[in-house]
Amino acid sequence: MNSHLAALQAYPFERLARLKAGIEPPATLEHIALSIGEPKHAPPAFVSETLRESLAGLGQYPSTIGLPQLRAACGRWLERRFALAPNSIGENQVLPVNGTREALFAYAQAVIDSTSEPAPLVAMPNPFYQIYEGAALLAGATPYFIDPLRLDAVPDSVWQRVQLLYLCSPGNPDGRVLDLDTLTYAVELADRHDFVIAADECYAELYHDPEAPPPSLLNAALQAGHGSFERCVVFHSLSKRSSLPGLRSGFVAGDAALLKDFLLYRTYHGCAMPIPTQLASIAAWNDDAHVEDNRALYRQKFSAVLPILSPLFAALGHELQQPAGGFYLWPLVGEDDERFTRELFAQQHVTVVPGSYLSRPARDGYLDPEGLNPGAGRVRISLVASLDECLLAAHRIAHFVKGRRT
């Protein structure tokens, strides 16, 4: 077996299942799951209809590079969403993928040269989406944990070993948005130290301020003078944007030279997107109205939940604010996050995720059991359920927190 498998840690939801094992919550309370970031909004009807009408496409093998119409739809969406020049995204700068999770993992396998000296590093946020860590380890690299808002705090000696930098904006789980200057500085670092940036932008359509949509790494590449997005690739998905997590549809875009090599890897990997999925995806990427409706639903949920929870956490000395992007709340709970999660489930039948499961204890960027875990004492609350369920869950959490203060 691949020896790197031994370095992998249990996935957060495996740990969560073990944490809840044996607990019998009140049978009178219906379970409300606010743990997995799986959107529960109704998928766009026109996408489902397109999928049904396209099932004859199951009778042929799809190509890994995807239909030209799909690559064009993705390119035009990028241009609309991020105010890029018309037709600035060519067909050779887009590659369809089966969801960003699969592609973010596979990309490290294609990019990392594990034989290089000194041993390669993959830089990533902490807290983070655990796929980044697993991808780095199985590619034969060492994860190096950073604060994306403090890239200048990372020593040059570290950047010289970095082959791949993962960024996530809006962030999971903290909802932080990286501004254009921060992203541009990352591109300049990549130029200086010869590494590639993979920007996970799957929450880019979920943001609070309609006047300040999150920028893309592509915008930063252009600002840094990279007319062809050199060293930069971005990952987008229909899971969050269009509430289509089961469609497993996304794309990678950016540097054509990097995508050419990634296409070679994926051709052997055998992960082409089925034709019906491609046709349904075209319909989704071509429509922006349903996305605004989706975004409005999340805004309603934040507006309903925050007035209930914010005063409670303020009483604990912790500020709980509307995140800039995404659909998560990331509060400090003032105690052990595992205990809080377990007892909330036991008493109120509401499931959240301990923050320490979504981050790593680290010292000087490296994994260290005695180091700081930035997720410790926090929980992640995913506002993916219906508005009524989120509101009910907020009241249950409030009741739980008040009970612990008395």
- pLDDT at 320 > cutoff 80: yes
Number of domains observed in the structure of the chain: 2
What local confidence, expressed as pLDDT, does residue 212 receive? 94
Mean pLDDT computed over 142-153 = 97
Q: Report d(CA 329, CA 301) in Å as an integer.
A: 11
Residue 307 shares a structural domain with residue 370: yes
Query: Model confidence over 328-348: pLDDT tens digits?
Result: 999 999 889 999 999 999 999
Residues 123 and 243 in one domain: yes
Q: Which of 233, 255, 287 is the last residue of a domain?
A: 287
**pLDDT at residue 319, rounded to an integer:** 83
Distance CA 400, CA 381 (A): 15
277 and 383 belong to one structural domain = no
If one compares 319 and 336, the residue with the highest pLDDT of the two is: 336
Angstrom distance (rounded) from CA 99 to CA 166: 16
Residue 335 has a pLDDT of 80
Q: What is the predicted pLDDT for the residue at 318?
A: 85
Type of residue at 297:
L
Cβ neighbours for 306, distance < 8 A, ≥ 6 positions apart: 320, 321, 322
Supply the pLDDT for residue 202. 97
Residues 239, 319 within the same domain: no
User: Are both 299 and 271 inside the same structural domain?
Assistant: no
% of the chain surpassing 90 pLDDT = 92
| Domain termination site, one of 272, 287, 302 | 287
| 396 backbone dihedrals φ, ψ, rounded to 5° | -65, -45
- Please check the confidence at residue 273 and state whether its pLDDT lies above 90: yes
**Residue 389, CA atoms < 13 Å, CB-side half-sphere:** 19
If pLDDT is split at 50, 70 and 90, which confidence band does 404 have?
confident
Greater confidence (167 vs 402) lies with 167
Report which of 161, 139, 176 is spatially closest to residue 374, judged by C-alpha positions: 176
pLDDT in tens, 5-48: 888 888 999 999 999 999 999 999 999 999 999 999 999 999 99
Q: What is the pLDDT of residues 211-246, one digit of tens each?
A: 999 999 999 999 999 999 999 999 999 999 999 999
- Domain span at residue 239 reads 45-287
Question: CATH number of the domain that 203 lies in?
Answer: 3.40.640.10
User: Stretch 166-183: mean pLDDT, rounded?
Assistant: 97
Q: Which of 256, 216, 240 is nearest to 91 (CA)?
A: 256
- Residues 357-373 have a mean pLDDT of 96
Shared domain check, 207 and 157: yes
Break the chain down into helix, strand, coil percent, rounded to 5.
45, 15, 40
Number of neighbours of residue 285 by Cβ within 10 angstroms:
26
Verify that 163 and 26 share a domain, yes or no.
Answer: no
In terms of Cα–Cα distance, which of 207, 261, 199 is closest to 232? 199
Residue range 112-147, pLDDT digits in tens:
999 998 899 999 999 999 999 999 999 999 999 999
State how far the Cα of 46 lies from the Cα of 337, in Å rounded to an integer. 41
Query: Omega into 276 within 30° of 0, i.e. cis?
Result: no
Both 165 and 187 in a single domain? yes
Chosen domain end from 255, 271, 287: 287
Q: What is the pLDDT, as a whole number, of residue 406?
A: 60
Q: How confident is the model at residue 56 (pLDDT cuts 50, 70, 90)?
A: very high
* CATH at 387: 3.90.1150.10
276 and 391 belong to one structural domain: no
Query: CA quadruple 177, 180, 186, 190: dihedral positive or negative?
Result: positive
Whether residue 298 sits in one domain with residue 221: no
Whether residues 161 and 213 share a domain: the answer is: yes
358: left (phi over 0), alpha (psi -120 to 50) or beta: alpha
Average pLDDT over residues 186-196: 98
pLDDT score, position 51: 95
Query: How high is the pLDDT of residue 256?
Result: 98
User: How many Cβ atoms are within 10 Å of 284's Cβ, its own excluded?
Assistant: 24
- Average pLDDT on 293-306 reads 97
For the chain, what is the mean pLDDT?
A: 95
CA distance 307 to 300: 12
Helix (H, G, I), strand (E, B) or coil at 224: coil
pLDDT at 405 over 80: no
Predicted pLDDT at 275: 96
Residues 85 and 223 in one domain: yes
Burial class (CB in 10 A: 0-12, 13-18, 19+), 403: exposed
Q: If we measure between CA atoms, which residue out of 229, 227, 237 comes closest to residue 254? A: 229
DSSP class of residue 43 equals P
